[in-house]
C-alpha cells in the first residue's frame, strides 16, 4: 500500500433543497484516503452515505448541491472542476460502481457494447484494442468473455455486479468508489465478490471507497472504517479498532446489530429508536436521543471530532474536561 494521500475531503457539506427547506444530508465531512487503501463507510439507511459518494464523484444532480467544502483528488479540487475536465478524470482516474447493476447497466445493450461505449467516450482505443481490453477486464472479475454478447438480464445478479466492476476497471483507475455493490446479492455471492474486490485491489493497487450498511462486511476487507450518523462522520478508526474496541456508542450499537455476515440478522439490538429527520436534527450530539451512554451535556453540546490514539471520534465521552473521567455525570 502506498503512503501518498490520494483523496482529501475537507468540510464537505451537501444539501437537498426540499419544499420544507434545506435538508443537510452530509455535514462537514472530513475524510482522507491513501493510495491503495480500502476505506469502508458504514451507517444506517438515510445517513447520507450515497450522497457523500455522489458528492465526491461529482455525480449529484439537483435538488442536491455541495454547499461547502473541498474534495481534493490527486491534487485537484473536484468541486471546482468543469464538466469537461471531470469527463477526463471520471472512468480513467476514478470510477464508480453503483448498488444495483440492473439500474446502472443499459438493459437493451450487451455487456460488450456497454464496455465499448465507455472506451470510445474516454479513450482513442481502436476497435481491436477495445475488444481485447473488454475481454481482459471480464476475465479479471471471473466472468467468461463470451458474456460480452450477453444482455444484463441474461446474467446472474453476481455476474452483473462483476460486469459493472469490470467496466470500472477498464482504465485501471487509482480510485474505485463503490456504493453497496454487494447488497442485492445472497450471502455466498456477496462474500465471493468481496474476496474478489479485495484481491483485485491488492493486485492492481487501486484505492476503494466502499459504502455499506452492513458493518460485518468490512471486517475482513477494509483497512479503515468511517462510521456515519445523521449526515456526520462520528468515528474513523482502523478496522481492528472499530471491531475490537469501537470508540463511539453508535459504532458499538452497529456492531451489535450486524454480528456477522453469516450469523442471524438481529435487527439493531443495540440501537433502539430510529435515525433523526435530517430536516430537524437533534441539538447537541445527534445521537444523544438513542445513546445508551448519554450524559447531561450531550443534548446541549455538539461534539467535535476528538483524536484518540490516532483514531477520530465525535463523542463527549472523549472530552478531557468531562469525558471518561466524568461518567459520574451520566444522567441515567
Ligand X SMILES: Nc1ncnc2c1ncn2[C@@H]1O[C@H](COP(=O)(O)OP(=O)(O)OP(=O)(O)O)[C@@H](O)[C@H]1O
By CB under 5 A, name the binding residues for Mg ion.
50
Sheet holding 224-229, edge to edge: 94-97, 175-179, 207-212, 38-42, 224-229, 232-238, 311-313, 306-308
Helix axes 157-168, 187-204, angle to 10 degrees: 20
Shortest Å distance, C-beta 91 to ligand X: 22
Cβ proximity of 165 and 198 under 8 Å: no
For residue 265, count other CB atoms closer than 10 A to its CB.
12
Which partner in Mg ion, ligand X, none is near 297 (CB below 5 to 8 A by kind)? none
The enclosing H or E element of 43 equals none
User: Among residues 4 and 63, whose Cβ is nearest to ligand X?
Assistant: 63
Q: 3, 19, 20, 45: which one contacts ligand X (CB under 6 A)?
A: 45
Per partner kind, with CB cut-offs from 5 to 8 A, the member of ligand X, Mg ion, none near residue 51 is: ligand X
Select from ligand X, Mg ion, none the partner in contact with residue 201, using the beta carbon and a kind-dependent cut-off of 5 to 8 Å. Answer: none
Give the burial string for 180-204 (b: 16+ CB within 10 Å, else e). Answer: bbbebbeeebbbebbebbbebbeee
| Site for ligand X, residues 197 to 236, rule: CB under 6 A | 213
Q: Give the phi and the psi of residue 98 in degrees, each rounded to 5.
A: -90, 165
Q: What burial class does residue 321 get, using C-beta atoms within 10 Å of its C-beta: 0-12 exposed, 13-18 middle, 19+ buried?
A: exposed
Q: Which residues are 14's β-sheet partners?
A: 26, 66
In this complex, which beta carbon is closest to ligand X, that of residue 63 or of residue 205? 63
| 49 scored as a contact of ligand X (CB under 6 A) | yes
Nearer CB in complex with ligand X: 50/237:
50
- Are the CB atoms for 213 and 180 separated by under 8 Å? yes
Distance in angstroms between the alpha carbons of the first and the last residue of the chain: 46
Kindly list the distances between the CA atom of residue 15 and the CA atoms of 26, 243, 269, in Å, as whole numbers in the listed order. Answer: 7, 31, 31
**Contact flag: residue 11 with ligand X (CB under 6 A):** no
Binding partner of 25, given ligand X, Mg ion, none, CB within 5-8 angstroms per partner class: ligand X
Q: Which of 22, 46, 259, 299 binds ligand X (CB under 6 A)?
A: 46
Cβ pair 251, 227 in contact under 8 A: yes
276 vs 322 by CB, closer to ligand X: 276
Would you count residue 48 as binding ligand X (CB under 6 A)?
yes
Q: Which among ligand X, Mg ion, none contacts residue 94 (Cβ within 5 to 8 A by kind)?
A: none
β-pair partners for 295: 330
Backbone angles phi, psi at 236, to 5 degrees: -130, 115
286 touching ligand X, by CB under 6 A: no
Among 25, 194, 254, 285, binds ligand X (CB under 6 A): 25
Instruction: Tell me the closest approach of the beta carbon of residue 104 to Mg ion, in angstroms.
Output: 13
Q: Which of 51, 182, 190, 251 binds ligand X (CB under 6 A)?
A: 51
Nearer to ligand X, 26 or 315 (CB): 26
3-class secondary structure, 69: strand
Among 6, 7, 9, 23, which residue interacts with ligand X (rule: CB under 6 A)? 23
Minimum distance from residue 49 beta carbon to Mg ion (Å): 5
91 counts as binding ligand X under rule CB under 6 A? no
- Of 2-10, 15-23, 245-253, 265-273, the segment contacting ligand X by CB under 6 A is 15-23
CB of 286 to ligand X, least distance (A): 12
Q: Which residues of the chain form contacts with ligand X (CB under 6 A)?
A: 16, 18, 23, 25, 43, 45-51, 63, 213, 278
Amino acid at each position: 500500500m502506498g503512503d501518498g494521500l490520494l483523496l482529501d475531503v475537507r468540510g464537505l457539506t451537501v444539501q437537498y433543497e426540499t419544499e420544507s427547506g434545506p435538508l443537510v444530508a452530509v455535514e462537514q465531512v472530513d475524510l482522507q484516503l491513501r493510495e491503495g487503501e480500502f476505506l469502508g463507510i458504514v451507517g444506517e439507511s438515510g445517513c447520507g452515505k450515497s450522497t457523500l459518494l455522489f458528492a465526491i464523484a461529482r455525480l449529484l444532480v439537483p435538488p442536491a448541491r455541495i454547499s461547502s467544502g473541498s474534495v481534493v483528488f490527486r491534487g485537484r479540487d473536484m468541486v471546482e472542476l468543469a464538466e469537461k475536465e471531470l469527463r477526463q478524470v471520471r472512468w480513467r482516474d476514478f470510477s464508480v460502481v453503483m448498488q444495483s447493476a440492473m439500474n446502472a447497466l443499459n438493459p437493451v445493450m450487451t455487456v460488450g457494447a456497454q464496455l465499448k461505449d465507455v472506451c470510445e467516450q474516454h479513450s482513442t482505443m481502436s476497435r481491436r484494442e477495445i475488444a481485447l481490453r473488454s475481454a481482459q477486464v471480464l476475465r479479471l472479475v471471473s466472468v467468461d468473455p463470451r458474456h460480452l454478447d450477453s444482455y444484463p438480464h441474461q446474467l446472474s445478479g453476481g455476474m452483473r455486479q462483476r460486469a459493472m466492476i469490470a467496466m470500472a476497471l477498464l482504465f485501471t483507475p487509482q480510485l474505485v468508489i463503490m456504493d453497496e455493490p454487494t447488497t442485492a446479492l445472497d450471502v455466498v455471492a456477496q462474500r465471493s465478490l468481496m474476496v474478489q474486490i479485495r484481491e483485485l485491489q491488492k493486485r492492481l493497487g487501486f484505492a476503494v471507497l466502499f459504502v455499506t450498511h452492513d458493518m460485518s462486511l468490512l471486517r475482513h476487507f477494509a483497512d479503515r472504517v468511517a462510521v456515519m450518523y445523521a449526515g456526520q462522520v462520528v468515528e474513523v478508526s482502523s478496522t481492528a479498532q472499530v471491531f475490537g474496541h469501537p470508540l463511539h456508542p453508535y459504532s458499538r450499537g452497529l456492531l451489535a446489530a450486524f454480528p456477522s455476515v453469516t450469523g442471524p440478522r438481529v435487527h439493531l439490538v443495540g440501537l433502539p429508536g430510529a435515525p433523526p429527520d435530517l430536516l430537524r436534527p437533534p441539538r447537541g450530539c445527534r445521537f444523544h436521543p438513542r445513546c445508551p451512554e448519554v450524559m447531561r451535556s450531550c443534548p446541549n453540546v455538539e461534539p467535535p471530532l476528538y483524536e484518540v490514539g490516532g483514531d477520530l471520534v465525535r463523542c463527549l465521552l472523549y472530552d478531557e474536561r468531562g469525558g471518561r473521567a466524568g461518567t459520574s455525570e451520566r444522567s441515567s
